[in-house]
Amino acid sequence: MDHIPNEILSHILSYLLTDSEKHRLRDDRIDHILPSKNTIEDDFGSWHQLLETDSIRTAVRHVAIETAPWDYELEDGNDIMSWLDSWFEDCHWPEFTSAINRICDMTNLNSLTLRFSMFCPSEDYDSVLQEPTETRQVTLELVSEALRDRESRPGTSTIRELVLSNLEDTPLPKDLAHNLLRNIDRLHISCTYAYEHQESPGAIPVEFNGKDLSFPRLKRLNLDNYIILRQDQFDWVLEQSSLIDLRLYNCRIATHCVVDQYDFEYWGVNLNGWKKPADSYEEMNDPNLVSMLNTPHFGQLRPGWYMSDLRWSNMFDRIHQHLPLLHNFTFEPVRYGGFMEHYPARPGSDCMAERYWTCSNGFWSTMWYKPARDRMWKAACFFDDDMPGTPVSLYTRTEAADRQALEKLMEATHKRRDGK
28-67 residues labelled b (16+ CB within 10 A) or e (exposed): eeeeeeeeeebbbeeebebbeebbeeeeebeebeebebeb
Quote the pLDDT of residue 337.
55
Neighbours of 333 (CB within 10 A): 18
User: What dihedral do alpha carbons 136, 139, 141, 147 form, nearest 10°?
Assistant: -140
Question: Domain limits of the chain?
Answer: 6-258+308-417
Q: What is the mean pLDDT of residues 284-292?
A: 44
Q: What is the mean pLDDT of residues 389-405?
A: 92
Q: What is the pTM of this model?
A: 0.81
More confident call, 127 vs 3: 3
Quote the pLDDT of residue 359.
84
Quote the crossing angle between the two packed helices 94-101 and 133-151, to the nearest 10°.
Answer: 40
- What is d(CA 265, CA 296) in angstroms, rounded to the nearest whole number? 12
Quote the pLDDT of residue 17.
60
Q: What is the mean pLDDT of residues 184-191?
A: 91
More confident call, 223 vs 372: 223
| 104 has a pLDDT exceeding 60 | yes
Tens-digit pLDDT profile for residues 65-83 = 988 766 555 444 445 556 7
**Partners of 222 in the β-ladder:** 188, 247
In this structure, the chain runs to a length of: 420
Residue 38 near residue 69, CB atoms below 8 Å = yes
Of 106-110, 147-151, 298-302, where does mean pLDDT reach its minimum? 298-302
CA angle 303, 307, 312 (to 5 degrees): 155
| 373 has a pLDDT exceeding 90 | no
Under the banding of pLDDT at 50, 70 and 90, the label for residue 258 is: confident
Q: What is the mean pLDDT of residues 107-121?
A: 85
Under the banding of pLDDT at 50, 70 and 90, the label for residue 389 is: confident
Q: Which residues contact 106 (CB under 8 A, 6 or more apart)?
A: 51, 57, 58, 60, 63, 156
Residue 43 near residue 34, CB atoms below 8 Å = no
User: What dihedral do alpha carbons 45, 52, 179, 251 form, nearest 10°?
Assistant: -60
Quote the pLDDT of residue 19.
56
More confident call, 324 vs 21: 324
Quote the pLDDT of residue 303.
74
Instruction: Write down the mean pLDDT value for the chain.
Output: 77
Q: What is the mean pLDDT of residues 198-224?
A: 69
Q: State what percent of residues in the chain have pLDDT above 70.
A: 66
The most confident of the ranges 60-69, 151-160, 268-277 is 151-160
Q: What is the mean pLDDT of residues 131-154?
A: 90
More confident call, 388 vs 377: 388
Tens-digit pLDDT profile for residues 25-66 = 544 444 444 444 567 778 888 899 889 988 889 999 999 998
Quote the pLDDT of residue 30.
40
